Structure formats: structure tokens, C-alpha cells
Amino acid sequence: MDFYAINNYFKDGRKPFSLIKYDPKVASKIRKGKSLANEDNFEIRINYNDEKLLVDFYDPGVPIVSERLKNLLEQQFEKELFEFCGINVFKSADPANQKYYAFNILENMDCFDKENSVYNTFEGSTVINSIAKLVLKEEMLSRRNIFRITPIRTAIFVNQKFKQAIEENNITGLSFISLGEFKII
């Protein structure tokens, strides 16, 4: 099966959203794939920078999805593998009309193939600081369309089915990097 990393960077450096308020503990839980269902009183606020840049997906540290993408994910993929949390979106000081959600992919996958991947760790640590070649244990991903990998929590990976659904529905704000092209330098 083909896998891809999500890329959401604008080549010219523009950013559709800016995080203006969030709890770093919540962001950490999201990167670790922990549920936010029992979290009380957390708030994520974003400011959108330019109406022309409004997109369906953006990840400024916490993945943010539009209501359109949320609906697509809920209709086509296993709902128990992710959750959404409403967030406040502002344009300047005024709330915006668009609805966006923090997107939490539950349960990071321990599918990093250490034997066949080419990578380096920080000296005296198991924390990965670079990857020249990423190989996954595909047998562990048979029921996952979107996932994070345990040692690479900042990246989001998808399979061909997910990629195809995004492209067929003209979802904006993300592109895909094939696993063979994925690198951390």
C-alpha cells in the first residue's frame, strides 16, 4: 500500500492561520494521540490572516480542519480513530463566520521500521533528529487511513484511500509527500 506524509506549507511562507491561544498540554496530548474527551476548560483560538488564504486544513502546531473536511472525514473514515474539538476563530477581534475544529488523530502507531529506515538520533538519546529514508511496518496499518508514528509525532501520514478522498473532494491546504520522498533534515 502507498503511504504519504501531509504537507501544509505555503511555498511563499504565507500562513492562513495563527495560533493566538492554546494550552501547550493540549497540543502535546494531540501530538501523542491522547483523547481530549475528559479535558475541561481548554481553549484553542486562531486568527485567520487573510480571507483569500482560508483552507480546509492547516497545522500551525495543532491540526485545524474546516467543517467541510470534518464532515468528509466523519462520512468516509473510521470515526473511532480521531476526534474533533471546536475552536474559536477570529479575524482581528471579531469572531469569523467559518467553523473550524482542532483535529486529533487518536493512538499513535508504533510502525516505524527501525531496522530498514535510515535515521539519526540526538547524541545519547532515542529522539530522532533526521530521517533520510522512512520505512513503515505496513502490516500494522491495515485499518488506519490517517495516523501519526510514535517517534515522529509532528508528522501526519495517510494511505492512498485518504489521499484520493481529499483530491476527489478538492480539499484545500494540504498536499502529499510520498514516503520515498519524506525526509527530516
Query: Residue 92's pLDDT is what?
Result: 59
Q: Domain count of the chain?
A: 1
Element containing residue 167 per DSSP (H, E) = helix 160-168
- For residue 58, the tally of other CB atoms under 10 A from its CB is 24
109 class by beta-carbon count within 10 Å (0-12 exposed, 13-18 middle, 19+ buried) = middle
Range of the domain at 126: 3-181
* pLDDT at residue 73, rounded to an integer: 96
Q: Please tell me the predicted confidence (pLDDT) of residue 71.
A: 96
| Cell digits of residue 129 | 533528529
Residues of the chain with pLDDT under 50: none
The pLDDT tens digits for 109-141 are 999 999 999 999 999 888 899 999 999 999 999
Instruction: Give the CA distances from residue 18 to residues 41, 115, 129, 168, in Å, rounded to whole numbers and listed in that order.
Output: 21, 38, 26, 28
The C-alpha torsion from 148 through 14 and 21 to 73, rounded to 10°, is -40
Burial of 176 (0-12, 13-18, 19+ CB in 10 A): buried
Q: What is the mean pLDDT of the chain?
A: 85
Can you give the pTM of this predicted structure? 0.88
What is the phi/psi pair of residue 100, to 5°? -130, 160
